[in-house]
Structure 1
Amino acid sequence: MGRQRTPTLVTGGDVIIEVSPLILLATIAIAGLGPAITALTDAWQGAAGIRSLAAGAAHSSAGWLSWLAIAGILRPDIDPLLVLPLTALGGVAAVLAATPARLLGRGARSTLAYAALWSALVFVPVAVALFSAKGFLAAELATVDLAGALPVLVAGGCGGLAVLVLDGRRVERSRGSNPGWVLLGLVAVVWALWVLWLVGMELAIDEITPLIVANTLMTPVASVAAWLVVQRIQHAKTTPSAAVGGLLCGLAAIAPGSGNLSAVGALLTGIVAGALCSLVGYWAARRTGNFIWLVVTILLGGAGLGVGLIGAFATRTGIVFTGQPEALLSQFASVLIVTAYAGAVSLACWFVVSRVARRPAASALAGS
């Protein structure tokens, strides 16, 4: 992508970080997404407060530290302008991976340890594979993913899925409630920060910027509409919480391809993601009695479909325009590879963390 920039250079050893006003703004916005998403998830459940923001900040910090430590050792061949945004994205990914464990009531020590270990073993390798010039996803599959949806949303969804598979139990929504304006305000904050995230990952204000903004505003609306239609057909009702789910699904779906899709392609992506994720999410939630499956479905399903459908709807390169399946196969192959790797390693991470966390309690009971 061509861009003009006049950044400040910050050097530390062999590491070069380029900072421009846009990158600084995007980094701040991305850093704010972790606490904002945590608060929104808790409000969606029925109870949000200062503790939500504190938990989001703590889990974000675990992701930041893991990225800085390991990326500093690996020194991957990454555009210097992406170093700060990727650090902030590490925090968002850690929040998403740890959210199901936190909603299940697991202790702060367990969720923080999981966030740190998961970030080191899942987020960092996938981010390097996508954003490094020599990374497997970038070099071998030529994966298109503007925002880093694969390491953040798809891998983060796998992190949450691992917790549910190994340690899930029936969890009802909280009976607490927040005023409607709280939920609406949090939705607006997350949406605005999401726009800044995607604009910043373009690394410059250019002719693509209006398209990114327009797609990030339109796609969630299409996803909400599809989600609510499915809910109406299945349950004969529409609810505000379903609208929030559809909106988050649309945001996840448009993140990887916001700069590559036309308005029609973005709308179709939102409709497909909203419809399929609502079908799968409600089915899983009913079957398990655990609403947290909706959160995992939105991340893994919404973002996975968003990455894959770039190969279908991307302007000039998608199968709809070329008639050739290579781009579609490459995009979905990327999703499958990341899902397989992130799923397997996430299972191992939560297995270790959950067993270690239980040992003190088991020892105390044995001694009493």
Structure 2
Amino acid sequence: MDSGNLAWLMTATALVLLMTPGVAFFYGGLVKAKSVVSMMMMSFGALGLTAVLWVLYGSSMSAVDSTWAFAGNPFADFGLATTIAEGDETGEVLIGSAFGATFAIITVALISGAIADRAKFGAWMIFAGIWATLVYFPVAAWVWGGGWIEELGTIMFGEDSVSVIDYAGGTVVHINAGAAALALAIVLGKRVGFQKGIQKPHNVPLVLLGAALLWFGWFGFNGGAVFEPLGDAGNLPQGLIVINTMVTPAAAVLGWIFVEKIKDGKPTAVGAATGAVSGLVAITPACADLDPVWAIVLGLVVGAVCALAIELKWKLGYDDSLDVVGVHLVGGIIGALWLGFFARDTGLIFTGSLEQLIVQFIAVVAALVYAFVVALIIGLAIEKTIGFRVKNEDEIAGVDVSVHGEEGYALTGDDR
């Protein structure tokens, strides 16, 4: 890999790493003022723990030698010692591993939004480490590391057939995180006083700042795997990736606020920010495989559908505090299945074949079920042993002081 490619990969790594603080700001603005530290610490805790686990053994687990292997050998390159010993003169392998780590980090961090205001930090950290090990690292191997999902088209339809498309992580990142978020919301139960309008975001500008950082970083998230940004535009998808990463969330903003206006009478800034995130989620697997017109339609659809999907928690009774399920799980599913219809060259409308849709559907269901079941088991085990949820009185008072011994703001009186 030449110096230009390495420079871009390093830049993309930094962009994606910035997205986790972006998640912290986005989630932090959505909770009440007395829980903002706790909320943001779950993202930073995920960053610290997942990065270390990735370097120790996650990178090794995320690639397999055989199609049906569960995961790679965690000791094959423990601590990246083998890579160092064999020599990585250009730094390509180590920088690539760092890039992979940033995806693992943000996937874990995304889950935390479902349990805002009521989770113990220590229990969250235990869950994050076990879930990353048992779910994220293996699923990354299945989809990107030579595993059965990556080879699903060949397995089902033979050589030279379609492959599952998950360019930057609709399945690995968003469906994975959304399914786990649903499981934890069930395990921890409802917040005290759970009802529609239970609380309003305490800091709307913080939400918009977080969304802006996410959108900015997403160009590295989607574009980082293209190692030749200055290459032949006819052979490389970087131009398509960039334009789709810009236009799909833009269209999703419009779709979301349109539904808000019809449903609630007013378009909101939080709705616009969340709509942008839903569009980013949906375009993640599809950024390199959709014509821009279909990317715009995808944005309009996912913005509108996710704006409606976040209402499901009130009807079904699960308390997904910050709508991880309604945005990341639903948006990830829409983006992954959209490819079955509209993927360039392989989608149903271009070929008349259902093959792309079939493999996309199987990948979605497999990741969703596996991530949900394992997260449910881990969450229940933690809840039944050390406890996952804080006491009700701490939840009502705000978890920042009881869990971390600090406050996000120097507020006085009742203005809290």
* Fold shared, TM-score > 0.5 on shorter chain: yes
TM-score normalised by L of structure 1: 0.85
Contact 1:285 1:292 in 2 (8 A): no
Partner residue, 1:30: 16
Q: Which has the higher contact order (CA 8 A, sep 6+)?
A: 2
Which structure carries more helix by proportion?
1
Provide the C-alpha distance between the structure 2 equivalents of 1:320 and 1:161, rounded to a whole number of angstroms. 33
Provide the C-alpha distance between the structure 1 equivalents of 2:248 and 2:390, rounded to a whole number of angstroms. 47
Q: Select which of 117, 126, 134 maps to 1:113.
A: 126
The answer to which of 284-293 and 299-308 deviates more is 284-293
2:132 corresponds to 1:136: no
Quick one: which amino acid aligns to residue 98 of structure 1? S
Alignment CA distance shift 1:23-1:247 (3 Å): same
Partner residue, 1:199: 223
Partner residue, 1:11: none
Contact 2:256 2:275 in 1 (8 A): yes
The answer for unaligned runs of 5 or more in structure 1 is 9-18, 363-368
Q: Select which of 339, 347, 352 maps to 1:318.
A: 347
Partner residue, 2:109: 95
Q: Select which of 232, 239, 242 maps to 2:271.
A: 242
Percent identity for Structure 1 against Structure 2: 23
Provide the C-alpha distance between the structure 1 equivalents of 2:344 and 2:59, rounded to a whole number of angstroms. 36
Quick one: which amino acid aligns to residue 168 of structure 1? G
Alignment CA distance shift 1:289-1:93 (3 Å): closer
Provide the C-alpha distance between the structure 2 equivalents of 1:335 and 1:196, rounded to a whole number of angstroms. 24
Provide the C-alpha distance between the structure 1 equivalents of 2:109 and 2:390, rounded to a whole number of angstroms. 26
The answer for unaligned runs of 5 or more in structure 2 is 66-91, 154-162, 392-416
Quick one: which amino acid aligns to residue 109 of structure 2? V
**Secondary structure of the corresponding residue to residue 20 of structure 1:** helix
Quick one: which amino acid aligns to residue 39 of structure 1? F
Per-residue CA deviations over 1:114-148 (Å, capped at 9, x if unaligned) read: 11111111101100111112x11111242111112
Alignment CA distance shift 1:75-1:270 (3 Å): closer
Provide the C-alpha distance between the structure 2 equivalents of 1:235 and 1:131, rounded to a whole number of angstroms. 41
Provide the C-alpha distance between the structure 1 equivalents of 2:302 and 2:137, rounded to a whole number of angstroms. 26
Quick one: which amino acid aligns to residue 36 of structure 1? G
The answer to which of 261-270 and 25-34 deviates more is 25-34
The answer to which of 240-249 and 278-287 deviates more is 278-287
Deviation (angstroms), 1:77? 4.9
Quick one: which amino acid aligns to residue 21 of structure 2? P
2:180 corresponds to 1:159: yes
Provide the C-alpha distance between the structure 2 equivalents of 1:176 and 1:293, rounded to a whole number of angstroms. 10
Alignment CA distance shift 1:146-1:187 (3 Å): same
Q: What is the total number of aligned residue pairs between the two structures?
A: 345
**Secondary structure of the corresponding residue to residue 147 of structure 1:** coil
**Secondary structure of the corresponding residue to residue 123 of structure 1:** helix
2:160 corresponds to 1:146: no
**Secondary structure of the corresponding residue to residue 149 of structure 2:** helix
**Secondary structure of the corresponding residue to residue 23 of structure 2:** helix
Deviation (angstroms), 1:184? 2.9
Alignment CA distance shift 1:83-1:236 (3 Å): same
TM-score normalised by L of structure 2: 0.76
**Secondary structure of the corresponding residue to residue 261 of structure 1:** coil
Q: Select which of 9, 29, 47 maps to 1:60.
A: 47
Partner residue, 2:413: none
Per-residue CA deviations over 1:1-37 (Å, capped at 9, x if unaligned) read: xxxx3269xxxxxxxxxx8111111112222211211
Provide the C-alpha distance between the structure 1 equivalents of 2:345 and 2:386, rounded to a whole number of angstroms. 51
**Secondary structure of the corresponding residue to residue 315 of structure 1:** coil
2:35 corresponds to 1:6: no
**Secondary structure of the corresponding residue to residue 213 of structure 1:** helix
Contact 2:22 2:214 in 1 (8 A): yes
Quick one: which amino acid aligns to residue 111 of structure 2? A
Provide the C-alpha distance between the structure 2 equivalents of 1:291 and 1:71, rounded to a whole number of angstroms. 28
Partner residue, 1:304: 333
**Secondary structure of the corresponding residue to residue 126 of structure 1:** helix
**Secondary structure of the corresponding residue to residue 138 of structure 1:** coil
Contact 1:220 1:247 in 2 (8 A): yes
Alignment CA distance shift 1:285-1:32 (3 Å): farther
Provide the C-alpha distance between the structure 2 equivalents of 1:216 and 1:258, rounded to a whole number of angstroms. 7
The answer to which of 195-204 and 285-294 deviates more is 285-294
Q: Select which of 208, 228, 232 maps to 2:257.
A: 228
Deviation (angstroms), 1:83? 2.4
Aligned pairs (5 A) from 1:270-309:
270-285=299-314, 288=317, 290=319, 292=321, 294-309=323-338
Partner residue, 1:187: 211
Quick one: which amino acid aligns to residue 178 of structure 1? N
